[in-house]
Amino acid sequence: MYRLAAVAKQGPARFNQLEMTMPSLSALPHDSGRRNLLMGAAAMAGAAPLGMAVAQPVRSGMPDHPQPQPARRSHAGMGTGLVGYMLAHEQFPVQELIGIANNAANGGFHLLATSDHFQPWQANEAHSGEAWVTLGALSAQVLRAWMGTTVTCPILRYSPAVVAEAFASLSQLAPGRIFLGVGSGEALNEEAATGIWPKWQERWDRLGEAITIIRALWAGEQVSHKGNHYTVEAKLYDPPPHPIPLLTAANGRKSMRLAGQHGDGLVTDPQSWKQNKAEWQDAASAVGKNPDDMPVLVEQYVVVGDERDARQAAELWRFGPDAFKNLYNVRDPAEIQRRAAAQTPIEQVMKGWPISNDPGPHLDKIHELQASGVTIVNIHAGQQDQARVIEFYATHVLPNLPQPS
């Protein structure tokens, strides 16, 4: 076990080499638990700091799917056919998210995505922990799933140089398994933390410049950048040991084009992907990229339960349909909550969500998104009982999907 932990720090390639000399995880007895091997290796790879809440095990009866190895073939190293799980810092405190994340990874999810907010979207969500702290803690516990943000805003409350350094450090802790999602931000985070909230075009100009700086610093060379918004004279002395996929978030037609130009891949929602997919693809192609080789992460809300469960979840995420139409310009989460309740019927919020205790609708939604070109379906369960969702997906959904490629 000590040997496994040491090799895990050397990266996925060396980890694979060691695995070939070990018994298959699937051959281990269920009661000894493939989970025990994985969690033991995580503990040896890096102990959690004192005071950190210990992740609660998944309920008994849940199968132990080994955490999938990230694919290394294309799509910025991320592969296709991935199913992720959303860690909502708006809804849960960090110590609970650590347990949720471990359960999701042990249950077979290929990727853990974290929101990165200074405040929650709505006041009734009630939480807003620091995403990078969560990722740092998880890097010592989750050995094989991809991890990253959807999304970090590197233009105001975070400078691009600091973002580059933070994610380079995270990639030292989880080599080859860190991705960075970036976007142009929301007033509830950027204006609230800095008092600054530029117009849309300036924010995207800043984002493009920030991406240039982040990539230059990741290369490990001395950077001398004097741009319209940032000046950087520095280098990273500990650059990433492996390339970090940089995915750009977008929703509207113009932002989808800019995301295609600047990012290694895309973060978006199902409706935006359906409506503006061609804009993103055309823009990527115009700058010499092949959009078929770029990761596309789509966040899909789900409910494991009935309509009552869905309505309870929707009250926390009611802003969704209008988030990037007008609510992203509102600084106060309480005001966002008030406006969302006044202008968005609850039925509209739930539209497009698979809501069922039957795996069929959940599988159908994943198949639908994958058939449209989505390479990462990121499951977001807005309900309070996260263990129920993870157990359901681990037992009834993930085993019925093809392995990532």
Give the residue numbers marked as catalytic. Answer: 117, 186
In 140-199, alpha helices (H): 160-173, 190-194
Distance (Å, rounded) from C-alpha 247 to C-alpha 297? 8
Distance (Å, rounded) from C-alpha 125 to C-alpha 129? 12
N-to-C CA span, the chain: 28
Residue 378, Cβ density class (10 Å: 0-12 exposed, 13-18 middle, ≥19 buried):
buried
Residue type for position 17: Q
> Which of 265, 302, 269 shows the shortest CA–CA distance to 109?
302
Tokens for 367, please give them: 């198949």
Task: List C-alpha distances in Å: 23 to 107, 109, 237, 325.
Answer: 20, 22, 39, 52
Query: Residue 199's CB: how many other CB atoms inside 10 A?
Result: 9
Q: What is the DSSP string of 358-380?
A: SHHHHHHHHHHHHHTT-SEEEEE
The residues near 10 (Cβ < 8 Å, ≥ 6 apart) are 175
The residues near 189 (Cβ < 8 Å, ≥ 6 apart) are 117, 118, 119, 153, 157
> Which of 3, 25, 28, 29 shows the shortest CA–CA distance to 14?
3
